[in-house]
Amino acid sequence: MPTEKEKMLAGEIYYAPDGELAAERIKAKDMTYDFNMLKPSKREERENLLRKILGKAGKNLWVESPFQCDYGYNIEVGDNFYANHNFLVLDPAKVTIGNNVFVGPNVGIYTACHPIDAKERLTFNEWAEPVTIGNDVWIGGSVTILPGVTIGDNVVIGAGSVVTKDIPSNCIAVGNPCKPIKSIS
């Protein structure tokens, strides 16, 4: 019988309040709390702690405070990653971010999914769908990226957009719902 964590990582329906998962969320929240309380001048300490939180991180990593996540180990970022203030990642599923990605302030990436039916929601069962962001992407301020979305390479997501579906490579995309409006090379 698979554990709730194994179900979560497999993209299956799982019981979110499970003891193991709850303990892992608390651990991640404690670590992000410690990260957020470090002075900005403590660059090396901040980066070292961030590397302990994240599942994988390339070179030239910088995340402004505050940063929050559910687990941390499901987040992978490539080289030259920058996230501005109030970066929130709900990561029961994998969040993969490529090289040379810049994230504006107040950006949320969500992988968690909940039942539409109110009675079913009361079971606290949920599932998660991965988010993938390619290389050379700029995500503007106050963007929301929903579960299951893939954003291609060389993309600009305009501020305030809500990304509900995949965005192809080499474009500027904006709006709610976010849609490509211009090709770029």
Domains of the chain: 4-183 (2.160.10.10)
Residue 85 known to be catalytic: no
For the question of whether the overall pTM of this predicted structure is more than 0.95, the answer is: yes
CB 128 within 8 A of CB 8: yes
Query: Using alpha carbons only, how large is the chain's radius of gyration in Å?
Result: 16
Dig out the tokens for 44 from the structure. Answer: 């090396």
Pick the catalytic residue from 51, 56, 114, 182.
Answer: 114
Query: What Å distances lie between residue 185 and 24, 38, 108, 170, 171, CA to CA?
Result: 42, 39, 27, 6, 8
In tens digits, what is the pLDDT along the chain, a chain of 185 residues?
999 999 999 999 999 999 999 999 999 999 999 999 999 999 999 999 999 999 999 999 999 999 999 999 999 999 999 999 999 999 999 999 999 999 999 999 999 999 999 999 999 999 999 999 999 999 999 999 999 999 999 999 999 999 999 999 999 999 999 999 999 98
